């Protein structure tokens, strides 16, 4: 049988900490078998109750076209009668599209808490941040959940190039990094003359593939922007060409529009792109996916998330080798990382400081929070500075202690731990319907009381090797305060 400490490490690093009974499951399977179970899981197979919860969300599983019609188009229609008062229009838009975001957050949290596919949930957290999209940018509001489900989740253990292309063509990314408006100089789109917009071309090299020191220059950014002109969204703007019979594509999904594409030959990283059309853009992205700098950038970031804030160089170079040998097979790269000596090195165990997201989800898991009551956790994450889908900048949320540990963050976390341990959270939310109330601002009030979480059950679930100080503090506290102390302990802040 695998020892408790190693099993706890697996549960903590892969999938936000243990739920009751999980440590036993891991111990029985053993180290390698558990990792294989997670690497080979059919992630679409979810427990019936979780599946049912997801499918009760009206926006879950909808196509981007449907979401566009039902939410964005509706909002535009209502705004048409409002005149030109931008902030009033903004408010209305927010109200209408606010149905989608909270449901997407609910779908994310429910799976993060209750899905048996723990590795998948961590990888979704990692890859969403790698290919970050900020919810509150234009139509991304209505596509944010679809983006995660269509462009991230299916590819977490596939080929990196497929993940890259799926994100590049997703309307949420096209809007977020402006490529839908990146058109050949002089081309007429959206009723006005526009031209090159470098935003996506820059970020795809700096953040998604090569990395900031990956060996590209400003002229590569400009060249890639030209290559990617005409990669846009169907029918969202009218195209007026000389002959006026442009194929306008399907509303709400990726479309390549030849008339908006600049066929001028370009040189990107020393290679000529002169075939024209969508082919050039795809070839350029594939070249970036296969670039050695990309293997290094991606491996370093993965190791930082799963192993240590300062990733061990030896591990990274092994991952890079596997990445290159397998053509960017993420299952193989992830396996290499998780079965490495570095992943199990005692120096790397219990040393990562949880991000607010990891912290909050780990609390929900260890206390067996009903995933249907997860909505207010999204509010708490706002207060902790990590709102889901709320990272404005394209680099996504970082996962390091340097980013998240500060004095005020400690006070906030401990306050939440106490509130959560006191049972106030559970009591408040047991009274609510499944998800009907999620649009309302929720404030948890400690004085509302509730039944404190059972501290013995928490300790049993955690099998934590608690320090003497923590054990003393828990033992000396009154019974009602023990759960809050465990959830606020240094051991539970880290993973």
Partner 1 sequence: MRRRDFLRSVTALSGLAFVRIGSQAWAAQNPNGAPQRLVVVLLRGAIDGLNVVIPYTEKTYYAMRPTIAVPPPGRENGALDLDRQFALHPQLAPLMPMWKERSLAFVHACGSPAETRSHFEGQANVESGTPGVKITSDGWLNRTLAALPAPHGATEAVNFGPTMPLILRGAMPVASLPSAGGGGGKIAAPPLIHAGFDTMYSGTDSLSAAYREGQSAHSRLMSDLEQDMSEAAAGAPSPVGFAQDAAHFCQLVRKDPTVQVGFFALSGWDTHVREGSIQGALPYHLRQLAQGFAEFRSGLGEKGYANTVILVVSEFGRTARENGNAGTDHGHGNAMWVMGGPVRGGKVYGQWPTLAEEHLYQGRDLAVTTDFRTVIASVLTGHMKLSPTAVAKVFPNATASTLPILNA
Contact footprint for partner 1 (CB under 8 A): 84-87, 190-194, 198-199, 202-203, 212, 218, 353, 382-387, 390, 392-395, 401-402, 404-412, 414-415, 417-419, 443, 446-447, 467, 469-470, 472-474, 476-477, 481, 484-485, 488-490, 493-494
Task: Look up residue 380 and give its two tokens.
Answer: 């708490």
In the bound complex, what is the minimum distance in angstroms from residue 101's beta carbon to partner 1? 14
Q: Which residue shows structure tokens 């992830």?
A: 334
Between 137 and 159, whose beta carbon lies closer to partner 1? 137
In the bound complex, what is the minimum distance in angstroms from residue 478's beta carbon to partner 1? 9
Between 177 and 253, whose beta carbon lies closer to partner 1? 177
Gyration radius (Cα) of the chain, Å? 24
In the bound complex, what is the minimum distance in angstroms from residue 94's beta carbon to partner 1? 13
Between 71 and 492, whose beta carbon lies closer to partner 1? 492
Between 46 and 187, whose beta carbon lies closer to partner 1? 187
Residues 6+ away with beta carbon under 8 Å from 390: 134, 135, 136, 382
3-state secondary structure of 435: coil
Task: Look up residue 197 and give its two tokens.
Answer: 């917009």
3-state secondary structure of 275: coil
Between 115 and 182, whose beta carbon lies closer to partner 1? 182
Cβ–Cβ under 8 Å, residues 254 and 174: yes
380 vs 418: CA distance, rounded Å: 13
In the bound complex, what is the minimum distance in angstroms from residue 193's beta carbon to partner 1? 7
Residue 423: count of CB within 10 angstroms of its CB: 21
Q: Which residue shows structure tokens 């180290």?
A: 31
In the bound complex, what is the minimum distance in angstroms from residue 404's beta carbon to partner 1? 8
**What is the rounded (10 degree) CA torsion for 356, 361, 364, 368?**
-160
In the bound complex, what is the minimum distance in angstroms from residue 359's beta carbon to partner 1? 12
Beta partners for residue 494, in sequence order: 353
Between 26 and 391, whose beta carbon lies closer to partner 1? 391
Between 92 and 418, whose beta carbon lies closer to partner 1? 418
In the bound complex, what is the minimum distance in angstroms from residue 218's beta carbon to partner 1? 8
Nearest to 350 by CA among 307, 392, 318, 315: 307
3-state secondary structure of 266: strand
360 vs 362: CA distance, rounded Å: 5
């Amino acid at each position: 049988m695998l020892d408790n400490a190693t099993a706890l490490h697996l549960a903590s690093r892969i999938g936000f900490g243990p739920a009751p009974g999980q440590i036993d499951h891991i111990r029985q399977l053993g180290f390698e078998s558990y990792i294989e179970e997670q690497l080979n899981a059919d992630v679409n197979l979810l427990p019936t109750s979780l599946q049912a919860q997801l499918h009760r969300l009206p926006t879950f599983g909808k196509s981007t076209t449907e979401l566009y019609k039902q939410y964005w188009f509706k909002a535009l229609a209502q705004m048409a009668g409002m005149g030109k008062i931008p902030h009033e229009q903004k408010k209305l838009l927010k109200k209408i599209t606010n149905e989608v975001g909270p449901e997407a957050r609910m779908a994310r949290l429910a799976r993060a808490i209750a899905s048996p596919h723990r590795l998948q949930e961590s990888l979704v957290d990692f890859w969403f941040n790698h290919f970050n999209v900020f919810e509150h940018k234009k139509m991304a509001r209505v596509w944010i959940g679809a983006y995660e489900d269509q462009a991230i989740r299916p590819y977490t253990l596939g080929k990196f190039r497929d993940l890259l292309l799926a994100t590049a063509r997703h309307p949420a990314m096209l809007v977020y990094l402006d490529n839908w408006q990146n058109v050949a100089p002089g081309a007429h789109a959206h009723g006005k003359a526009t031209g090159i917009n470098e935003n996506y071309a820059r970020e795809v090299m700096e953040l998604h593939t090569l990395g900031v020191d990956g060996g590209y220059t400003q002229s590569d950014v400009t060249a890639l922007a030209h290559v990617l002109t005409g990669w846009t969204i169907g029918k969202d703007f009218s195209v007026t060409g000389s002959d006026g019979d442009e194929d306008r594509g399907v509303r709400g999904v990726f479309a390549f529009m030849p008339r908006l594409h600049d066929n001028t030959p370009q040189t990107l990283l020393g290679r000529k792109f002169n075939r024209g059309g969508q082919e050039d853009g795809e070839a350029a992205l594939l070249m970036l996916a296969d670039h050695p700098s990309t293997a290094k950038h991606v491996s370093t970031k993965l190791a930082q998330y799963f192993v240590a804030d300062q990733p061990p160089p030896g591990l990274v170079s092994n991952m890079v080798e596997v990445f290159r040998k397998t053509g960017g097979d993420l299952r193989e790269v992830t396996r290499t990382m998780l079965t490495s000596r570095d992943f199990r090195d005692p120096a790397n165990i219990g040393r990562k400081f949880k991000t607010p997201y990891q912290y909050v989800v780990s609390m929900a898991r260890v206390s067996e929070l009903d995933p249907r009551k997860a909505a207010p956790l999204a509010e708490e994450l706002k207060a902790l500075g990590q709102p889901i889908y709320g990272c404005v900048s394209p680099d996504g949320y970082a996962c390091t202690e340097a980013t998240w540990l500060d004095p005020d963050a400690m006070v906030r976390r401990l306050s939440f731990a106490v509130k959560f341990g006191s049972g106030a959270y559970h009591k408040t939310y047991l009274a609510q319907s499944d998800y009907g109330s999620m649009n309302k601002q929720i404030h948890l009030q400690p004085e509302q009381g509730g039944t404190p979480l059972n501290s013995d059950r928490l300790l049993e679930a955690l099998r934590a090797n608690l320090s003497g100080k923590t054990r003393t503090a828990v033992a000396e506290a009154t019974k009602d305060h023990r759960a809050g102390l465990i959830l606020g302990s240094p051991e539970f802040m880290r993973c």
